[in-house]
Chains A and B, each alone.
Chain A
Amino acid sequence: MSEKIAINFTVNGDNESRDVEVGQTLMKFIRDDLHLTGTKSGCEIGECGACTVILDGKPVNSCLVLAVELDGKELVTIEGLTKNGELDRIQKAFIDHAAFQCGYCTPGMIMSARALLERTPEPTDEDINEALSGNLCRCGAYQEIREAVKSASKK
């Protein structure tokens, strides 16, 4: 068996302790061990952004981070955006603007957008383009996504 290391972290506000395999990616850990399957796997090499989560306030491709690096950190996944059944404003804006089609890139896209709004509450089109350029949407919902992020920023 592979070597395991104990880590402590918070996930979506809850404290957790786990033993993780040293070579395991954060993406696999989130999906396979934490069973938070909202985080999607699209390329496993950091090119598509489908696995984006927020780690200590910053958006990261969870396929490029090792699970052991989670130790002592704060993780937010798409499941963490909904509070007591109430959708986050960015989620509501994505619905209002039909800013998704197949929905596979959507959790990653929303997490990147959420992180953008945290650091830039009123982003310009350029800010949005830059912040979301690492999140590929093959269905081509980009125009709706831009509108959704802008509308969420105004609230």
Chain B
Amino acid sequence: MAELKTVGTSVQRKDAIEKVTGSAQFIEDRYMGPMLYAKMKKSTVAHGIIKKIDLKKAQAHPGVKAILTGKDYPNKIGLYLIDRDFLAVEKVRYWGEPVAVVAAVTEKAAAEAVELIEVEYEELPGVFDPRESMKPNAPVIHEDLGNYEIVPIFYPKPGTNIANHFKLRKGDIDKGFAEADLVIEKEYYVPQMQHVPIETHKAAVQWGHDGKLTVWSTAQSPNVVRQLLAKSFDIPMHKIRVISSYIGGGFGCKAGASVEGLVIPLAKMFPGYIVRIIFNREEDMQGTFTRQALFSKLKTGVRKDGRITALQYEMIWDGGAYTEYGVNIVRAAGYSSTGAYDIPNVKTDSYCVYTNNSIGGPVRGFGMCEMQWGIERQIEEIAKQLDMDPLEVRMINGMKKGSTTAAGQVVQDVDYHKCLKTVADQIGWGKKEGKYRGKGIAGLVKCPAQPSNAASSAIIRINEDGTAHVMIGATEMGQGMLTAISQIASEALNIPVDKIDIKVPDTDFTPYEWQSVGSRITYTCGTSVKRAAEDALGQIYLIASDLLETPQEDLTFDGKKVYSTKDPGIKATIREIADSCKKCTGEGIAGPIIGRGSFVPTNMTNLDPETGQGNPGLFYCFGATGVEVEVDPETGVIKILQLAAAIDAGQAVNPQLCISQLHGGTIMGLSTALYEEVKFDKGIMLNRNFTDYKISSIDNTPHIDSFIIETPETNGPYGARGIGEQPMIAVAPAVANAVCDALGIEFNTFPLTPERVWKAIKDSK
């Protein structure tokens, strides 16, 4: 491969100037035209039948234009399982579920009117623990589960609360346990967390007089929003335009479609007006996706030499009231259920279970943080019982080139061992530093969880002066996509990054991208853009060849001109080629240059419904986290003394932005390890603000030593793979492993709050 010029350099972010000057436009910063403001009336019970909704007082409130309830539009929506009501119809399934939506001339009037709506419920018994909810006598939350439309790779059990049962059988589990010298079985619990992007969910919708629906949304995936709305409201796709702005943090909560559908029927009533809804912080925490809680049982068989021979994993996920998206997290955790380890015999059952808690859904890690918590904790237990070094157990079982995943997919381009060794060396592994100090390491792996045909496309327009516009459907939520994608285009086109313009998407003008999720964009969109660039470049050569009457193979393009390698005097500027090229006689040769590229995975397959075997991964990204802690035995407070993170980016497109992602994921992981847990009381979310739900702030964020490992991804653009989600995954278990090393106390759940640690110290005495 030729030496890289732009890929691999830390060029300045494309969005830098806008973001530091406050001129970067987010949805709420846009003036769009005459507006109406919407607010939701939310349920006050977690499970109940709506007996009556009295709108009279609210309708008479000054400024109110319209109020709609679930009866007015019983449309459903869902990415994988179409089970979600925009507005509750007949019954509510979680506390805070929208039951009515008001449009008014001011936000204040809408909020006041909401208070005047009177709703009468007949409360039903609720279920708030998925283990209870799985039992045959549990109250059924979705009576119509058997009639819901579903992507046929999920397996609900109608008549129960099980929305998906993912089964995986690899090798021979009985043989695996028979070969083991030691069998360990433990239970683990991971609570719900919230993404809390600083920008909440927002959408504005206009129903044009011509029947065109325009949607401005904080969604991570404009194309999927368009697709889901088209289906839910039965509108042809060319009549829906979804416009993205910069997104003020996503982390998964803005994936799929969320708030947009709440205001579409209101917009339809007032053509020309823009109806806007903005979730406040409390609504954002309680009414959008939370990370699904996980109750798991993990049993491993291991030989005396440290080799794991069998793994049996039962995972029961709290899917919450609607599992339209959550069913796929459960699937992903199932097919990845050996974590970063090559284990020959596996039996996994992963259940997505409805409860009357808030809606479960995608969060950075997509099930991997929760599932690999158990794996990475259990390896410590294995090491302890075998009196081995836990790092060695990881090294012995860790995946390497040619290993197979739980699903039986062969992994390539892997150097997990280097990731482990890097963080171990950094934190001085093996050296005990003091009585209440301890060190811990954990590893990670993740592939994008996406349908096997999740596609991507790109268009590149070459301007008359040789500058270019890159048009794509991916969204910019901080991950640096605009910059990385421009660098890939620049590399392939040989045009400098500063001569490339790139913008966030608008479905009327930018080509299709499935979703900006799963750390897939660098790979998928990057591949499309590289292909579009090569297509444009091919046209440049073709046109130049005609113009210069020179064979293409003798020509080369230096970004400014095309010239003959045999006679540099034979040359044409990019301007001459790109500006509707004509011969000196005036005869036209070619019109404007438009490069086209698209991508769909060819290495993924469906999974066998009984064994879960197949190829679910587009690529696999490995990494590791190392931590040193000091615990105050009097208070239970954990101090992070060292934090090291390594991720295998394949080829860092932009090293500075890779480090940003590595830091960001590590800090979010640390925040969940130490502070974050959404608390419910019979479905009522108790901590719905930043005072009660604490997240990392600058004053409690330690220095991170970060390492980008580069084991090129054979099929990734210039060897790159995505790394956005991954750095979060190993942090919580690494911290717990370090605390365990310090205190000799096992933790099977987190966050490791001072209270929890203090109690554990007290109980151990």
Contacts and interface: CB of A to CB of B under 8 A. Distances in A.
Interface of A: 31, 36-45, 47-48, 50, 77-79, 81-82, 87, 91, 94-95, 98, 100-107, 110, 128-130, 132-146
A106 B477 CA distance: 13
A36 to B, nearest CB: 8
Interface string B689-708: 11100011111010110000
A142 B667 contact: yes
Interface in B10-63: 10, 12-13, 15-26, 28-29
A47 B699 CA distance: 15
A136 to B, nearest CB: 6
A145 B20 CA distance: 12
A45 B691 CA distance: 10
Interface string B195-226: 11111100000000000000000000000000
B20 A100 contact: yes
Contacts of B696: 140, 142
A103 B248 contact: yes
Nearest to A110: B20
A82 B23 CA distance: 11
In the complex, the 9 A-B pairs of residues with the closest C-beta atoms, listed nearest first: A38-B22, A104-B248, A102-B478, A101-B478, A103-B19, A140-B667, A78-B22, A140-B664, A47-B690
B425 to A, nearest CB: 20
A41 B199 CA distance: 7
B281 interface: yes
B13 A91 contact: no
Interface string B737-755: 0000000000000000000
Interface stretch (B494-502, B609-617, B655-663): B655-663
A139 B249 contact: yes
A43 B689 contact: yes
Given A79-B21, A146-B698, A104 B197 contact: yes
A128 B698 contact: yes
Contacts of B198: 40, 42, 48, 50, 102, 104-105, 136-138
Interface string B233-247: 000000000000011
A87 B17 CA distance: 9
A43 B15 contact: no
Contacts of B354: none
Interface of B: 10, 12-13, 15-26, 28-29, 195-200, 246-251, 280-281, 477-480, 656-657, 659-660, 663-668, 689-691, 695-699, 701, 703-704
B21 A104 contact: no
B22 A37 contact: yes
A143 B704 contact: yes
Contact of A95 (B17, B25, B200, B480): B17
Contact of B480 (A45, A81, A101): A101
A102 B698 contact: no
Given A43-B281, A140-B663, 9 more contacts: A37-B22, A37-B29, A39-B22, A102-B198, A103-B18, A103-B19, A106-B20, A133-B697, A142-B663
Contact of A40 (B199, B477, B656): B199
Given A98-B660, A143-B703, A91 B20 contact: yes
Contact of A133 (B19, B199, B698, B703): B698
A138 B689 contact: no
Nearest to B31: A35
Given A37-B29, A132-B698, A103 B24 contact: yes
A42 B199 contact: yes
Nearest to B246: A103
A45 B689 contact: yes
B23 A38 contact: yes
Contacts of A102: 197-199, 246-250, 477-478
Contacts of A82: 21
Given A103-B18, A133-B697, A143 B663 contact: yes
B651 to A, nearest CB: 19
Contacts of B695: 136, 138
Given A43-B281, A133-B698, A98 B13 contact: yes
Nearest to B702: A143
A19 B374 CA distance: 60
Given A103-B15, A106-B20, A144-B663, A44 B280 contact: yes
B374 to A, nearest CB: 25
A102 B667 CA distance: 15
B742 to A, nearest CB: 24
A2 B742 CA distance: 61
Nearest to B247: A102
A138 to B, nearest CB: 5
A42 B284 CA distance: 11
17 contacts: A40-B198, A40-B199, A42-B200, A79-B21, A98-B16, A101-B660, A102-B197, A102-B246, A102-B247, A103-B19, A103-B478, A128-B698, A133-B698, A136-B198, A138-B195, A138-B196, A143-B703
A141 B248 contact: no
B704 A47 contact: no
A111 to B, nearest CB: 9
Given A98-B657, A103-B478, A133-B698, A40 B248 contact: yes
Contacts of A146: 698
Given A42-B281, A106-B19, A133-B698, A141 B660 contact: yes
A47 B693 CA distance: 11
